[in-house]
Amino acid sequence: MIQNSYQVGIYCRLSKDDNNGNSESMSIANQKQLLMDYVARKRWDLSGIYVDDGYTGTNFDRPDFQRLLRDVNDERINCVITKDLSRLGRNYAMTGYYTEEYFLERNVRFIAINDNVDTMAGENDFAAFHNVINEFYPKEISRKVRQVKRANAEKGYFQGGFSPYGYAQSPDNGHKLVINPETAPIVVRVFDRFSKGENCRMMADDLNKDGIPSPMRYHQIKTGRSYGHSDVSKKVWTSATLYRILKNPVYRGMMVQGKRSTISFKSQKRVLRNEADWYVVPDTHEPIIDDVLWDAVASITSKPKGQKKTGYRSIHEGKRLSKFSGIIYCKDCGARMTATKNNDRMVYRCSRYISSGAQTCRSHSIREVYVLQSIQKDLEQFILLSEEERFDMASQVISTALSDSSSPARLLKDELQQCTKRVDELSKISRSLYEDKVKGIVSEPEFVEMSNDYKLDKRRCEDRVRIITAQLEQMEAVDSAAGKWVKLVADYLTFEQIDREMIQELVEKVEVSYARDSCSYTKCSYNIDITYRIIGPAEAANAAAAGFSEDKEKAQHAG
């Protein structure tokens, strides 16, 4: 049976791939007007307008389409209308999934006006053919674009979004690179100093101190476009940026393209191609670096990593991870901290500082043993307690973290029983009152007045039942969490050697920041903020535990 009224969401989409010479009829404004007129004729309620302008139909991760799906799941709309099936998408499998499964499972009607598709009316005989044809269109465009790009790459034509640092696109031919007199000297400086023994970190620091814009920053200044890069490390010189320059054969006049490609026209994921499939064309433009300097640098960059001298040694050899790898962060900039070994001491340093230098953050070099000591200090309060007392303390800490009521479970259960009993009694009284009204024992005004009073009393009891039930469920969760926490603490205190697996179960996040008030020129202290998986931030947990200890001490004195 078809409903007479719907809460409708109309969906419009347009991308550059859809411009097939009939841009006016395909415009967002045209789609929107067509759909609104259709809804008005049907006298349905227009509950939402969803528009994705500039998004391809082969990818369903579009902002307003995702918003439409959320509204479908929240039952705000129960009918979706598009101009045709291709507006919904040009991926045959995914479009079929939404029209034949997703919407139907949620009792949502889908209509594509121009393709005569209506999931509730059964007019879908040709929907699958429409989807195949709609997918064929972007697939054919993708094939032609790939052919053109392949032919241009084989000829050595430049096809990048913007030219490599040190070069510019020729004003006469956008596929040809010419030397940029503003930035080419910086490239020469980098190659020359690296060949004389300076490392990338030192050179990056010097370039930043000299106020020379990084490649991304230079491009932003010249074009006025940010391209979405808000990361501060993109705006300064980093060792990684310089190393990429030193390894790029474009500076010796050679064009290398086709290193990566997308899996298919349906996916934007890029994968690295085999080196044998790259397009390598020499002498396509004037080189910035001559062969002698290039070979000198290449002889250094091609050395095995084991030959490089460094005061730190990575601990990720053999895929072994440090105890806090993945959960320790620099609190000042938010970047992960990287584990290294220095004189057999495990040390964590800010990864942003390592890659981008002092312009972005500070080293925050901290030994692993200090983090372990901080955890040990947090757990010291559990050491002298019995297992029962540990459970009670953990329960109080977790209850405080959850802002839970400290009412004993027994009292809540008694109150729940009383409220439930009262609800049943009020239901019986209401039925009896109605019978008295029918028999004429109670007048109509008396019935209305007493009935309203009983309903209000019953509603209050039902609300209290819901609140108590939720409190009891939370207390049960606290008991379960407290039991788990006590076991973790017991394991931690029992084992002399704490491994990574135990840390992962115990700790959710560690943040390290400078204690600025205690910093001096030669020495700096750190603040270590630890968030535990069950009891939350250490600071709040310690405060709750301190309250428990005070209550225990008062009880002992009173006894």
In this predicted structure, what is the pLDDT of residue 94? 81
Q: How far apart are CA 45 and CA 85, in angstroms?
A: 22
pLDDT tens sequence across 97-115: 888 788 888 889 999 888 8
301 in Cβ contact with 239 (< 8 Å)? no
pLDDT tens sequence across 346-384: 888 888 887 777 777 877 778 888 888 888 787 776 666
Token reading at 15: 């991308």
Exposed, middle or buried by CB within 10 Å (0-12, 13-18, 19+), for 472?
Answer: middle
Neighbours of 427 (CB within 10 A): 12
pLDDT band at 317 (very low <50, low <70, confident <90, very high): very low
In this predicted structure, what is the pLDDT of residue 389? 67
**Structural domains in the chain, sorted by start:** 7-141 (3.40.50.1390), 167-306 (3.90.1750), 310-364 (no CATH), 376-558 (no CATH)
Q: Sort strands 7-14 and 45-53 into parallel, antiparallel or unpaired.
A: parallel
Is the pLDDT at 261 greater than 70? The verdict is: no
What are the φ and ψ backbone dihedral angles of 106, each rounded to 5 degrees?
-100, 15
In this predicted structure, what is the pLDDT of residue 287? 92
In this predicted structure, what is the pLDDT of residue 319? 46
In this predicted structure, what is the pLDDT of residue 220? 84
Is the pLDDT at 546 greater than 70? The verdict is: no
In this predicted structure, what is the pLDDT of residue 21? 45
Is the pLDDT at 64 greater than 50? The verdict is: yes
In this predicted structure, what is the pLDDT of residue 333? 84
Is the pLDDT at 549 greater than 60? The verdict is: no
Q: What average pLDDT score do residues 130-146 get?
A: 56
What are the φ and ψ backbone dihedral angles of 519, each rounded to 5 degrees?
-80, 140
Percentage of the chain exceeding pLDDT 90: 11
CA angle 169, 152, 257 (to 5 degrees): 75
Question: Collapsing DSSP states into helix, strand and coil, what is residue 496?
Answer: coil
H-run or E-run covering 14: strand 7-14
Higher pLDDT, 33 or 315: 33
**How much is the mean pLDDT over the chain?**
75
Token reading at 31: 């789609």
Sheet holding 337-342, edge to edge: 313-314, 337-342, 345-350, 366-367
pLDDT band at 60 (very low <50, low <70, confident <90, very high): confident
